[in-house]
Chains A and B, each alone.
Chain A
């Protein structure tokens, strides 16, 4: 039983930051605590830490404004892309998903958009709230699991539901690294996405709600512009100059 408690302690303490995890696990080992008391202690600490994090708007933004709605829309795009591919390449059509007029050019446009939208959304989720990533990740899988259960037989393959998760995963990893993107890069990304979306929209191949997916890319561009401006202001003001 004690061994199970220690395994759970190891697992739960992964949520803590590395230094704190080291200190806490070392304290428990040194104090010769029973596994269950230690588990209660670590659980209490994790609960307090997570509680403190959720007082900030960032985890709410990452989870409920970005991860959940974007994953719902991106899941639809993933199915749409798969159905179009099936129709164009394997000449199979799916009654529940009308992909009437898109050709290879529009399919390519949709694939590029799917990758760019998912990557940008993943980047924001990873960079805005890294310590509550477990919640954002869980929320992003909710629409997929719902669809898996209810529409699983009506779509080409259940795996197609997860297409958007691949670029989103790489976006999250990049966001977690805390590597700032430059303003020209983010601007190029946002502009490319917008041009592709206008192109798809003018061909009547874009759901009106998908316009919301352009927001993460423009948010990245705005954030990069703001940090460049702040860095510029810091370099202009002389060191040590403050109010008199």
Chain B
């Protein structure tokens, strides 16, 4: 089963679609969770997920606003989508009956 941060990363990357790459994923995670996301955690988790076959990454185009440096693009694989769905269902099941879940 996925870890919490792995789930966050896959969900954000899936939401960003074609525009999923390091900086965009990080910005989205920070905006959603209101917590700091370090580059170390981000890139080591991307590597781990790629090794598990849940993500695919490749080097994208370089832009002037990045000082001519390439982006590391990210795409969620079908296996990654399944793993995220499974994680979500487990969380939803386990949360049934919890006071904070019902309050919503």
User: Which residues of A line the B interface, CB within 8 A?
Assistant: 19-20, 22-31, 40-42, 44-45, 47-49, 52
The distance in angstroms between the C-alpha atoms of A26 and B71, with both chains bound, is 7
B62 at the interface (CB under 8 A from A): yes
B5-13, B21-29, B80-88, B96-104: which lies at the interface: B21-29
Contact A29 B40 (CB under 8 A): no
A39 to chain B, nearest CB (A): 11
Contact B38 A29 (CB under 8 A): no
User: How big is chain B's contact interface, by range?
Assistant: 20 to 34
The distance in angstroms between the C-alpha atoms of A22 and B61, with both chains bound, is 11
Pick from B40, B59, B67: contact of A25, CB below 8 A.
B67
Contacts of B39 in A (CB 8 A): 24, 27-28, 41-42, 44-45
Contact B38 A22 (CB under 8 A): no
Chain B 15-53 near chain A by CB (<8 Å), digits 1 or 0: 000000111001100000000001111011000000000
A15 to chain B, nearest CB (A): 13
Contact B26 A22 (CB under 8 A): no
B20 to chain A, nearest CB (A): 13
The distance in angstroms between the C-alpha atoms of A27 and B20, with both chains bound, is 12
Cross-chain pairs A/B with CB under 8 angstroms, 16 sampled: A22-B62, A22-B70, A23-B21, A23-B22, A23-B43, A26-B22, A26-B63, A26-B69, A29-B66, A30-B63, A41-B40, A44-B39, A44-B41, A45-B39, A45-B40, A48-B44
